[in-house]
Amino acid sequence: MPADTRANDLAHWQTVLVSHDVEATARAIRGSVCSALSPGVVTVADQTLGFTKGLLIKDPDGHAVAVIQP
């Protein structure tokens, strides 16, 4: 994935994973080959999205992965 790919590019692809502990996921990626795209775990006040917390990371190939917590 090109390093300058943005969320509105045609090449952008995002996978969504559901976790029951997004905080643990954030701790697990520290020091791994994945990197955080968001500044940390984000708490979502609007429940219409279907999740309460989220984290956006980049996998080793550069693809975005959204980790959400119901």
Residue 53, CA distances (Å) to 2, 31, 44, 70 in order: 28, 22, 6, 7
Per-residue pLDDT band at 3 (split at 50, 70, 90)? confident
Structure confidence by residue, pLDDT tens digits, 14-59: 799 999 999 999 998 888 888 888 889 999 988 888 899 999 998 8
Q: Class assignment of domain 14-69? A: alpha beta
Domain ranges of the chain: 14-69
Looking at residue 35, its pLDDT comes to: 83
Find residue 55's DSSP bridge partners: 67
Looking at residue 1, its pLDDT comes to: 65
This prediction's pTM: 0.77
Q: How far apart are CA 47 and CA 3, in angstroms?
A: 32
